């Protein structure tokens, strides 16, 4: 069954901006008769106890999900299989660049700052052997395009940059862009609702899905929650988590920010209109 999803990283407690995105993802999915699934993206930093607190906060808001919670740390074989499929198609190459080298390298005219310029793409075997003595290699995608277009419910058709994204880091950890594509397909996710700071990642992910013969989802990138200085909201901004605010206060803040009225997600669903979702960042005053 087609699904929407929420996929938090257990690096800390969810703040009201995260809870707002989770509620929107639930409303988008339920209003379009999709199932709603939950995935814990735990390949990076994991704070002990954070996952359970996040799940408890979602339940406290009245959100439910279908099927078991999926954890990326339990799906390493699926990511390895995807990388192998790309390697078999000669679409993978080793990269020895450090993050600083990527940031400081001259960027090709068609790429934005920070995009990978292809430094290791055409190294000879001898050059690769020499660089491998200094540091282990990450694996990158050998992209055949420089842009890709995705459809976003709130932003329309968006053409984004595609570069040679990392598939496996040099410690063997699957990279975000690979894992999210493989997982969305495995969970039948065809509707991705998430914060709009990830809009620039959508083209890379949709292109990667096409190479793996996986469905490309429809997106809805919703505005971020920001502090009074216009920076993305964080725990350092004070009382911004459900534990800090209490369930009723957190619920009231999130619902009012969306221009909705109701005491439960089910009540909100009765009048939810995706076209009316605010397009501007939500400034959280606390």
Residues annotated as catalytic (active site), given as ranges: 235
Count the residues in the chain. 286
Dig out the tokens for 199 from the structure: 């809009």
Q: How many other CB atoms are there within 10 angstroms of residue 55's CB atom? A: 18
Dig out the tokens for 195 from the structure: 């914060």
**Dist. CA 142–CA 86, nearest whole Å:** 9
**Dist. CA 100–CA 105, nearest whole Å:** 8
CA angle 55, 281, 229 (to 5 degrees): 100
**Dist. CA 219–CA 51, nearest whole Å:** 25
**Residue closest to 177 by CA, chosen among 82, 36, 66:** 82
Q: Is the dihedral of CA 41, 42, 47, 53 positive or negative?
A: positive
**Dist. CA 169–CA 174, nearest whole Å:** 6
């Amino acid at each position: 069954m087609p699904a929407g999803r929420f996929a938090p990283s257990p690096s800390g407690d969810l703040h009201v901006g995260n809870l707002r995105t989770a509620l929107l993802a639930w409303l988008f999915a339920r209003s379009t008769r999709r199932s709603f699934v939950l995935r814990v993206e735990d390949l990076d930093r994991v704070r002990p106890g954070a996952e359970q607190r996040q799940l408890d906060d979602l339940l406290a808001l009245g959100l439910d999900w279908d099927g078991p919670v999926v954890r990326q740390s339990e799906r390493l074989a699926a990511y390895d299989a995807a990388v192998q499929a790309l390697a078999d198609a000669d679409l993978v190459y080793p990269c020895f660049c450090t993050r600083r080298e990527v940031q400081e390298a001259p960027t090709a005219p068609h790429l934005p700052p920070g995009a990978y310029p292809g430094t290791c793409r055409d190294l000879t075997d001898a050059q690769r052997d020499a660089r491998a003595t200094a540091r282990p290699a990450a694996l990158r995608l050998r992209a055949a395009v420089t842009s890709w277009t995705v459809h976003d419910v709130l932003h329309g058709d968006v053409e984004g940059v595609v570069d040679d994204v990392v598939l496996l880091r040099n410690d063997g950890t699957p990279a975000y862009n690979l894992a999210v594509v493989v997982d969305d397909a495995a969970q039948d996710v065809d509707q991705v609702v998430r914060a709009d700071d990830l809009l620039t990642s959508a083209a890379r992910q949709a292109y990667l899905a096409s190479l793996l013969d996986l469905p490309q989802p429809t997106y809805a990138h919703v505005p971020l929650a920001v502090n009074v200085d216009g920076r993305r909201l964080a725990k350092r901004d004070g009382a911004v988590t459900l534990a800090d605010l209490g369930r009723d206060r957190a619920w009231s803040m999130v619902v009012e920010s969306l221009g909705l009225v109701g005491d439960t997600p089910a009540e909100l669903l009765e009048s939810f209109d995706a076209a009316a979702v605010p397009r501007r960042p939500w400034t959280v005053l606390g």
